[in-house]
Amino acid sequence: MIVVEMAQNSTGIDLERVRESVERSGKSCRVVSGREASYIVASDGTDTSGVSALPGVRKVNAVSCCYPLASRAVRPGSRPVEIAPGVVLGEGDPVVMAGPCAVESRDQLLETALAVRKAGARILRGGAFKPRSHPYAFQGLGSEGIALLKEARKASGLPVITEVMSPEEAEWVAPHVDILQVGARNMQNFSLLKVLGRLDRPVLLKRGMAATVEEWLQAAEYILAGGNDRVILCERGIRSFDQNTRNTLDLGVIPLLKSLTHLPVVADPSHATGRRDLVLPMSLAAIAAGADGLLVEVHCDPGAALCDGPQSLDPEEFSRLMTAAKRIMEAVREEGTPWERMLAR
């Protein structure tokens, strides 16, 4: 594909001129106006001979992948995503997001929120709209859950992340939370991704259960191509033949993604393993592999959880996890992230 990057001080007229020039060569193209930069993306074979010289053009890239805006080829290096003042994914120590699978009640959410903050979590997670395998299972508190998340955000001072499942939900929920989460089952729900591309909210995009790295980055590209450049990738386990764990945490994708994309990558050891006793070791492993963050399920009373109890930590376990995680973070921090050291050869 051909990607024309506009200079930061380029004007709308510059952009229009580039678009016209590209279209004159008989190819359609797409204008992406992001917060930091604007791009024109055109298909291979586009004649761009005159484009570089046009006013406002910073660079013309030809890339072989189908996720140009997500790629390091077009946008080199890491690009941290800021969630709230001082809470940045992809820069400095990994950021831990923690909280219950589902928002169940005011007490449950607030107690858990304060506990995870105390232990060192920087972002509060909690599901209000729950994607459940069958229609008779608890589907979440819905809008009431969103109201409780806002209350918990205020009480704890932690920014919040919650899942949305449809274009309509995304638009409605966006103003109320800090990160919109796309679940594994919706990774290729393109109608949803298109809407998220138009919203001004960071998006955490979970990997589909059987999604290749290319498919995942192309799904992210849907959001980026809409103009929303704050996408966080989340590895949450792939489906394999072995059913001892709920899924198989594929940590190899963390350094692999780092070589392909500038987007931050976090890991969800809770859904990946489905077993409380594996959450701590897999959290440490994810950090050692270079993850920019973790998404951990914590419940003030896991035995009473309405969903995913067996994989939820109680506050004490989470606190133990954070202590161990910090030690690994220190070990990693001393020399830069692992993949950078290796690639540096």
- Compute the distance between CA of residue 193 and CA of residue 203 in angstroms, rounded to an integer: 10
Residue whose C-alpha is closest to residue 238's, from 258, 259, 215, 261: 215
For residues 72 and 90, give the distance between their C-alpha atoms in angstroms, rounded to a whole number. Answer: 14
Q: Quick one: 152 or 222, whose CB is closer to its own copies? A: 222
User: From the CB of 322, what's the least distance to its own copies, in Å?
Assistant: 12
Of the two residues 232 and 272, which places its CB atom closer to its own copies in the complex? 272
Smallest gap from residue 321 Cβ to its own copies (A): 8
Residue 70 CB, shortest distance to its own copies, in Å, is 10
> What's the min distance (Å) between Cβ of 209 and its own copies?
5
Nearest to residue 283, comparing CAs of 71, 119, 78?
A: 119
Q: Which residue has the tokens 């923690």?
A: 98
Name which of 158 and 254 has its Cβ closer to its own copies: 254
- Segment 45-54 long-range contacts (CB within 8 Å, at least 24 positions apart): 46/2, 46/22, 48/2, 48/4, 48/22, 50/21, 51/4, 51/18, 51/21, 51/22, 54/14, 54/17, 54/18, 54/21
Give the residue with the Cβ less far from its own copies, 117 or 258: 258
Identify which of residues 87 and 288 has a Cβ nearer to its own copies in the complex. 288
Looking at residue 277, the DSSP 8-state letter turns out to be H
State how far the Cα of 325 lies from the Cα of 288, in Å rounded to an integer. 9
Q: How far is the CB of 85 from its own copies (least distance, A)?
A: 30
Rg over CA atoms, the chain: 21
Closest approach of Cβ 67 to its own copies, in Å?
A: 7
* Least distance (Å) between residue 134 CB and its own copies: 4
The residue (of 153 and 216) whose beta carbon lies closer to its own copies is 216
Q: How far apart are CA 293 and CA 309, in angstroms?
A: 22
Q: Could you tell me the smallest distance in angstroms from the CB atom of residue 157 to its own copies?
A: 28
Name which of 32 and 160 has its Cβ closer to its own copies. 32
Tokens representing 57 are 């053009």
Q: Which residue from 111, 116, 70 is spatially nearest to 95, judged by alpha carbons?
A: 116
Specify the DSSP class assigned to residue 55: T
- Ramachandran region, residue 232 (left: φ > 0; alpha: ψ -120 to 50; beta: rest): beta
The residue (of 18 and 280) whose beta carbon lies closer to its own copies is 280
Chain position carrying tokens 């989470």:
318
